[in-house]
């Protein structure tokens, strides 16, 4: 933070008034869903006021010059009634522009993001994070699309009946036939296929079969930090040919190898917290023995962005913060801090044209491509229907 030049920060803020900053992943709906006093109401939660206890609210989104935000309907893999919970969270995302139409506009396309930016509003986009809400049926995909969902992350931290997670034991050598049907139906609907959280074999299989470009909405580079949630080089090297995009994320364990190594004793073999009853005591004991966890930094995140660019090319990178009320890198504590990341890249010599692509140009291009492919496929293909037993014996 202190090493950033004032001129670069001013330059960053000026740029973000000229072109849109689009963040690919934020879990605010889950934060609100978990706030019992809110009763799943954004009005009760009052997004319009500062929420110092977490990282996302309207005042700080405005200060951070966020033009468009992909909000995730995240449902834990083992949630009771996951289909119902998914709908509750999609509804919560829809509540944002309904409650504050002066600040937000709901968007389902690249054109609508641009329209919102021109009108000075923050575009709200709905995504589903984790396919557990399908409950092994293809029908919800069309219902979600009708509700405005335009991106689906196939799984979360656990392997499902049809797709292997990066942070769980594999069961399917990647993707089952039902999983392939999910991907192909997402293509037909014009919904972006998001490969964050998936195992590398899933990444490769989807890159093989998808008729549209795909997205990695919140991943960093495995080469710089060996967390299994990051993307390996052999996947990164395929992104350019697929005209896809990978969005660098702010999760400290995915940025800093030192932070990742510090946390290993508190995680399972796949990098997930073990969630034992004595987890708080274990963390306290670990801090007493090893000291506090090393901080991830903006500089280290810039290293990931530049490494991703070196593997994929400048047309295939973006930003997917994954703000969720958890730990954050030093200098990127909340959504008001996006200009500081842009300023750090300016200090490294990034041009205005390159930053426009990173901030939003690349994801807008990907969205247009997915939209066009969906229009073509809906005109030529019938919907894929059925349940997992109709595809996987």
Produce one character per residue of 297-306: b if its CB has 16 or more CB atoms within 10 Å, e if not: bbebbbbbbb
CB of 148 closer than 8 Å to CB of 94: yes
Question: Which tokens hold the place of 249?
Answer: 């994320």
Neighbours of 274 (CB within 10 A): 11
- Asked if residue 307 is part of any domain, the answer here is yes
Mean pLDDT, rounded, for 268-288: 79
Q: Is 296 in a helix, a strand, or coil?
A: coil
pLDDT tens, 197-214?
A: 999 999 999 999 999 999
Residue 246 has pLDDT above 90, yes or no: yes
Q: Is 14 in a helix, a strand, or coil?
A: helix
Mean pLDDT, rounded, for 262-274: 84
Q: Is 98 in a helix, a strand, or coil?
A: helix
- Asked if residue 173 is part of any domain, the answer here is yes
Residue listed under structure tokens 């052999």: 234
**Whole-number Cα distances in Å, 225 to 233, 293, 392:** 12, 15, 35
Q: Which residues contact 131 (CB under 8 A, 6 or more apart)?
A: 152, 153, 154, 155, 160, 162, 163, 182
Find the domain containing 367 and state its range: 6-256+295-390
- Asked if residue 1 is part of any domain, the answer here is no
- Asked if residue 282 is part of any domain, the answer here is no
Q: Considering the chain, what is the average pLDDT of its residues?
A: 96
pLDDT band at 276 (very low <50, low <70, confident <90, very high): low
- Asked if residue 347 is part of any domain, the answer here is yes
pLDDT band at 275 (very low <50, low <70, confident <90, very high): low
Residue 271's pLDDT is 85
- Asked if residue 171 is part of any domain, the answer here is yes
Q: Which of 73, 67, 76, 204 is nearest to 143 (CA)?
A: 73
* Count of structural domains within the chain: 1
In this prediction the pTM is 0.96
Could you give the angle at which helices 110-118 and 362-380 cross, rounded to 10 degrees?
140
pLDDT tens, 177-192?
A: 999 999 999 999 999 9
Whichever domain contains 109, its CATH number is 3.20.20.140
In the chain, beta strands by DSSP E: 22-26, 68-74, 104-106, 122-129, 149-153, 192-194, 215-216, 245-248, 317-319
pLDDT tens, 334-346?
A: 999 999 999 999 9
φ, ψ of residue 70 in degrees (nearest 5): -80, 110
pLDDT band at 220 (very low <50, low <70, confident <90, very high): very high
Residue 279's pLDDT is 75
φ, ψ of residue 123 in degrees (nearest 5): -75, 135
pLDDT tens, 77-92?
A: 999 999 999 999 999 9
Which residues belong to the active site? 25, 27, 129, 156, 197, 218, 322
Write out 124-188 in H/E/C secondary structure. EEEEEECHHHHCCECHHHHHHHHCCEEEEECCCCCCCCCECECCCCCCCCCECHHHHHHHHHHHH
- Asked if residue 268 is part of any domain, the answer here is no
pLDDT tens, 345-366?
A: 999 999 999 999 999 999 999 9
**Whole-number Cα distances in Å, 171 to 158, 160, 256, 384:** 11, 9, 29, 24
Mean pLDDT, rounded, for 324-336: 95
- Least confident stretch, 34-43, 96-105, 202-211, 217-226: 34-43
Residue 1's pLDDT is 47
- Asked if residue 263 is part of any domain, the answer here is no
Q: Measure the CA–CA gap between 309 and 250, rounded to whole angstroms.
A: 17
Residue 332's pLDDT is 98
């Amino acid at each position: 933070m202190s090493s950033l030049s004032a001129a670069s920060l001013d330059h960053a803020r000026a740029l973000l008034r000229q072109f849109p900053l689009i963040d690919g992943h934020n879990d605010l709906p889950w934060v609100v869903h978990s706030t019992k006093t809110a009763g799943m109401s954004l009005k009760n939660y009052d997004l319009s006021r500062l929420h110092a206890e977490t990282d996302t609210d309207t005042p700080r989104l405005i200060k951070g010059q966020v033009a468009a935000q992909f909000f995730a309907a995240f449902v834990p893999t083992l949630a009771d009634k996951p289909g119902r919970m998914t709908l509750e969270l999609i509804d919560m995302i829809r509540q944002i522009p309904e409650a504050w139409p002066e600040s937000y506009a709901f968007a389902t396309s690249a054109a609508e993001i641009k329209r919102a930016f021109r009108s000075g509003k923050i575009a709200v986009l709905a995504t589903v994070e984790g396919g557990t809400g399908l409950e092994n049926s293809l029908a919800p995909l069309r219902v979600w699309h009708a509700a405005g969902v335009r991106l689906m992350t196939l799984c979360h931290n656990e392997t499902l009946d049809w797709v292997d997670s990066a942070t769980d034991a594999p069961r399917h050598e990647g993707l089952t036939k039902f999983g392939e049907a999910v991907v192909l139906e997402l293509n037909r609907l014009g919904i972006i296929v998001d490969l964050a959280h998936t195992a590398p074999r899933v990444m490769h299989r989807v890159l093989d079969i998808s008729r549209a470009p795909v997205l990695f909405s919140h991943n960093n580079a495995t080469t710089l930090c060996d967390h299994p949630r990051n993307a390996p080089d052999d996947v990164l090297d395929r992104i350019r040919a697929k005209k896809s995009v990978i969005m660098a994320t702010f999760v400290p364990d995915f940025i800093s190898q030192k932070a990742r190594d510090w946390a290993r004793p508190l995680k399972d073999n796949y990098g997930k917290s073990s969630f034992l009853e004595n987890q708080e005591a274990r963390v306290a004991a670990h801090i007493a023995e090893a000291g506090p966890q090393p901080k991830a930094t903006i500089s280290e995140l810039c290293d990931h962005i530049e490494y991703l660019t070196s593997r994929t090319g400048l047309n295939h990178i973006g930003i997917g913060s994954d703000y969720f009320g958890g730990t954050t890198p030093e200098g990127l504590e909340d959504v008001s801090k996006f200009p500081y990341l842009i300023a750090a890249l300016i200090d490294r010599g990034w041009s205005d044209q390159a930053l426009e692509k990173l901030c939003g140009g690349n994801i807008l291009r990907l969205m247009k491509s997915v939209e066009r492919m969906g229009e073509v496929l809906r005109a030529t293909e019938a919907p894929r229907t059925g349940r997992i037993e109709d595809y996987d014996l």
